[in-house]
Structure 1
Amino acid sequence: MASEDIMIKRSLLLSLLLATGAVQAQDKAATQPDLAKAKQTAEQVCGACHGTDGNSQIPANPKLAGQHAEYLYKQLTNFKSEGGKPAERANAVMGGMVAALSADDMKGLAAYFAGQKLNPEAAKNKASIELGQRLWRAGDLKRGIPACAACHGPAGAGLPAQYPRLAGQFADYTEAQLKAFRAGERANDPAKMMRTIALKMTDPEIKAVADYAAGLR
């Protein structure tokens, strides 16, 4: 009798484990981004500005390939207006693009572009390399400008989800974003960090550090 009870308990335990495993597998499948759908959206919607693989050919539009998925998802959600409230990151073009996207759609696009290989840009202004390098590595503590590397990494790889990869990005785009932060036109940085830093930077400093970041690998 005892032997029979043990067999029954083992059978019940096995059934429970199998059921738990099946539920976990279903949950995992449900949370996996639909990369096939994301690729289709990238080709039909995003490709004109950012390239179907995230390697934009237009300096005004950022390269998305290889960017952190968490950061991309945050930006997409920031562009989206919810409940009649203004979007956290104001951009008429991107606001229109994300209007019809669900959270799952945006997660899929973020994962898709994060998985693409970046075709990086290069630093082009030899005259400003020294200034860009100094600001990137050490900042200017006397003026309250921290080193860019402190958040974006020595090689510009960034830290998800708040700090994007800047290595290989268009210098023109990075420069434009720093100036937008400085002017308060872009305000989706945590704790006003980038707005505070950019306010202390001159135009030549912004241009130099943007060009230097383009050449990082």
Structure 2
Amino acid sequence: MKKLIAGVVLGVSLTTLAHGAGNPQAGEQKAAVCTSCHGPGGQKPIMATYPKLAGLGEKYLYRQMSAIKAGDRAIPEMTGLLDSLSDQDLQDLAAYFNAQERIVSQANPDLIEQGAALYRGGNLATGVPACAACHNPQGKGNEPGGYPALGGQNAEYVMKQLKAYRDGTRATDANSSIMMDVASRLTDAEIEAVANYVSGLH
């Protein structure tokens, strides 16, 4: 009897999780407005300071859109764009963009060595941890933890976000607190180097 009850509880839990998950096909139907800035499939933004959304991580994308809609993460260009969308709409969009293939950018070869050292080993002298610990050695991110895939992301966008973490203007959740601490230990030169490195990482 206990096994039966446990099985029913597990089944209901899995059904709930499956029901709450985003639908990529439904998300595609809702993504038209997003493509005007982020490009088809979120792969090629019209400006380098805009993020690529493709393959970024479903959990991460959903959290960020939720924060933007709630006003917890202020992005002037996104003002009002998500207001009419339901929670399910946001989940569907997150699933759609996460299912798209990431396109790798071209890194500046002059900065690769310094960027690789920071990404893979951090900076022991200043207490900077290796980016690879949370974002994966190949930049694929960590979906269960909600850490985004960084490989192929626009360097300009990564630099902008690291500086926002450093000056405290991007502070929305627990993961933001981690990044604020990390970014506070980075110099401008280190930010440029690691941002350049991840832009070509795959």
Does the 8 Å CA contact 1:189/1:195 hold for their aligned counterparts?
no
Structure 1 segments, 4+ long, off by >4 Å, are 23-30
- 1:114 and 2:103 aligned: no
Q: Aligned-pair distance for 1:92?
A: 2.6
Deviation at 1:94, TM superposition (A): 2.0
- 5 Å matches for 1:136-155? 136-155=119-138
Residues 92 and 151 of structure 1: is their aligned pair in 2 closer, same or farther, counting only changes over 3 Å? same
For 1:196 and 1:32, how far apart are their aligned partners in 2? 31
Residue 209 of structure 1 deviates from its aligned partner by 0.1
Quick check: 1:49 aligned with 2:37?
yes
Deviations 1:177-196, CA, capped at 9 Å, x for gaps = 00111111111252611111
TM-score by length of 1: 0.80
**Distance (Å, rounded) in 1 between the aligned partners of 2:121 and 2:13:** 47
Q: Residue 48 of structure 1 aligns to which amino acid in structure 2?
A: S
Structure 1 match to 2:52: 63
Aligned to 1:165: 149
Larger Rg computed on CA atoms:
1
2 CA distance for matches of 1:116 and 1:73? 15
In structure 1, what is the Cα distance between the partners aligned to 2:156 and 2:149?
A: 15
Give the alignment partner of residue 68 of structure 2, picking from 59, 79, 89. 79
1:27 deviation in Å?
6.1
State the number of aligned residues.
192
Task: Report what 2:6 is aligned to.
Answer: none
Determine the structure 2 residue equivalent to 1:19.
Answer: none
Kindly provide the CA deviation profile for residues 62-118 of structure 1, in whole angstroms up to 9, marking residues without a partner as x: 11111211110011111112xxxxx22111332411111110000000000111112
**Residues 15-47 of structure 1: CA deviation (Å, up to 9, x unaligned):** xxxxxxxx999868854534443212212x101
Q: Which residue of 2 aligns with 1:210?
A: 195
Alpha-carbon distance in structure 1 between the residues aligned to 2:172 and 2:193: 23
Distance 2:67 2:43 in 1: 22
TM-score, reference length from structure 2: 0.85
What is the deviation of 1:119?
A: 1.7
> Unaligned stretches of 5+ in structure 1?
1-22, 82-86
Identical-pair percentage: 43
Structure 2 contact 116–194 (Cα < 8 Å) conserved: yes
User: Are the structure 2 counterparts of residues 119 and 94 from structure 1 closer, same or farther at C-alpha, using a change threshold of 3 Å?
Assistant: same
**Separation of aligned partners in 1, 2:76 and 2:159:** 20
Match of 2:183 in 1: 198
Say if 1:142 and 1:29 are closer, same or farther in 2 by CA, change over 3 A: closer
